[in-house]
Structure formats: structure tokens, C-alpha cells
Structure 1
């Protein structure tokens, strides 16, 4: 396992995503632009997912701020950004923190026609799937949770004191 510490400047969440996508930390602004485009390209889906147009405006406000050392209200927030990241970059995102652990599958797995490789140890526990994904995913992605149900239950046992 490789751990990459990124600069702590208020844009660290976006910096972390740049590293995962093979970019440099300095390209954190590109991640914000990509997520902003994802949000507005699929605005009807995200309005439904987040429950209001007000939340779309709040996320637009966060993603449109490109200054260094932003205050807290411009930071990357989970779980909202997790949905955007997974769909924008065609990845399954695991969010692991002391407060909450979640899995963000792709919203619409039907639109992707490529295979991805994920190398995990046999029986690796998987954090629970984000609740909004369970409610609002595309119908062709419905079997995703079932395929990983044992690993999700294993995660809940191993991390019983953690919010999921």
C-alpha cells in the first residue's frame, strides 16, 4: 500500500484526487473544474441525488473557488463530492476516515465499456455503499451492492465502532 501525504492548504482533498488520477498536486484546480463540469453536465441527476437545487449551488460555490488556502466552507466535503468523483473519473471510490467510511460506486455502470483492475487482498473488507447511491443509482448498476455484500458485512464487523 502506498500513502501519499499532500500539502495541507485547504485544497488537500482535491490534491489527493489529483495524485490518484496521475496528475501532480499543483493540478488540483483541474480536479475542481472536472467535478464542476460533471455536476453541471448531469445537473438533473445530482439535483435528485442531493435533494435540492440549493445543494447544487453550494457545491458550485465550493468548486468555483480557485484561491490558495481557502477557508473551511470551500473544502472538499464527503459524501457529496464522493458521488461526483466516482462518476467523473469512472472509479469506485473508498472514503475512509475516523468519522465515516463509505463506498461510492459508479452511478451508471451501463455507460462504461472498459474494464478496470482493482487489486485487493482476498476477502478485503469494503465500506458500506453510500445511502444516496442506493436510492438513486441507475437500474443497470443495481447488482453492484449484492456482489460485495459479504465484504461490506465483514467491514461492519471489523469496524463496528465507526459511522458508516
Structure 2
């Protein structure tokens, strides 16, 4: 599903650093209830205030229809780089290498400047590049968060992975824009919670896959077509489950109107 409104990463809550850091460390595990607040990496003042997790487990913040297919939710530090941290961790690099993710995405945009220019236009391309440019100790503000859909294609193409983003605002699959598909694909999954924080998601077996983001078909290279072929059946499964869920909701509404 294409999401016109960009999804962004975590805001900051600097005034409660010590309290939040202590609480985060005491709760942090692979599926704990961790507030989506900011835990700064140093004591410098931060700007912005996140929406706090009011005790709902992260799993319950995933799309209802996808929850049965999720085996684990793994949180990352909510310091404004959470989307990049989650990508780094899912690639096996460790979330502390979030800055490398940003740099490699910038390199990708430079290599395929013409392609991204055709997709986004010069102004948005520059906005994305500016958002990716962050010094290791920089105070990251909203304009430099990880955004979807803008950065989804860049992640998939840079790291040659299938990127799935899960959100109650809509779930999408991003495929590489260039390069032939290998025999074995690497799928990474990001979950978006509280409208301001990214987490890692681990899926079970032959899980369904959301439909491909629409711009992929118009801007991919011809040799990249094979990336979608392997997933058409699972995308059909996803659509079927979505329609069944919507049908169930409609039936419930009808039942509620009966005497």
C-alpha cells in the first residue's frame, strides 16, 4: 500500500534523560513493553517530544492481521536514528552502525542520481540527501528522521534486500530498483509504532507479503523485474487476508444494527 504521508522516526525527550534511560535499560528485551521515548546517547539538550508508550506491548502495535505472522519484535534505541538503527541491526551489522547506513544510502543516491531524480524530482531528492547527512554526534531533529516511502526504495536498492514496512497506516514492500534478483533473497522487516518510532520485526516461515510499492514498476531497471516474481503468490495471500479482515469488519457492523 502506498502511503502518501511520510512515516517518520522517533522524536526526542531530553529533559528526562536519566529517568528514561534507567527505565529503558530495565525493560529492554526482544518483546518487552518499552516506551517509545528518546534515550539520548549523550547529555546534550535535544529538541522535540515523542508520544509515549502507555504500556501497550509493541506486538500489539503491529497491524492486527499481521500479528500472527510475527515471531518477535526487537526494539532499538529511540534516539532519532531508530529507523537506521533497525536497518543496521537487521542487516547483521549491529544497530550502533546506523551512521554507516546513512552514508551508504547517500552513496546510492549519487550513483543513481538520474533515476531518483526521475522518481522524486530534484527538490525532494535534495531534501532526502539533506536528511541523510548527519554527523555522528549531531542532534537529530525531525527533518532528518527515517521516512517511508521516500527512503524505502533507497534501502532496498542500496543493500539488495526486500524491505517490508508494517504500520497501522499501511504496509508496503520495497524491492531493489536495479540489479538482477539472486537465488536467495534477504527480507528485512521494519515496524512503525506510536507514529514516531521504528522497531525490528521477525516474521514466521512463509508469511504473506504486502504488495509492492507502485513506483517500483515504473522506475525499476529491466533486470530487476525478477525480484517480484518470487513473491506474487504471497502477495496474493496478503491481499486475500486483507479482504477477509475487511469483510469481517463489515459483517460486525451489520450485526450491530440488528435488533
TM-score normalised by L of structure 1: 0.84
Which residue is equivalent to 1:61? 130
Q: Which runs of 4+ in 1 moved over 6 A?
A: none
Which residue is equivalent to 2:221? 138
Q: Distance in 1 between matches of 2:225 and 2:92?
A: 30
SS, match of residue 60 in structure 1: helix
Quote the offset at 1:150 in angstroms: 2.9
SS, match of residue 125 in structure 1: coil
* Higher alpha-carbon deviation: 84-93 or 65-74: 65-74
1:64-118 per-residue CA deviation (whole Å, 9 max, x = no partner) reads 12345522221000011110111111111111111121111121233x6674366
Structure 1 gaps, min length 5: none
Change (3 A) 1:5 1:133: same
Paired residues, number: 159
Change (3 A) 1:55 1:100: same
Quote the offset at 1:9 in angstroms: 1.3
| More contact order relative to length (CA 8 Å, sep ≥ 6) | 2
Task: Please identify which structure carries the higher strand content.
Answer: 2
Instruction: Tell whether 2:155 aligns with 1:155.
Output: no
Q: Which has the larger radius of gyration?
A: 2
Change (3 A) 1:16 1:107: same
SS, match of residue 77 in structure 2: coil
Instruction: Tell whether 2:101 aligns with 1:31.
Output: yes
TM-score normalised by L of structure 2: 0.55
Task: Please identify which structure carries the higher helix content.
Answer: 1
Q: Distance in 1 between matches of 2:162 and 2:182?
A: 15
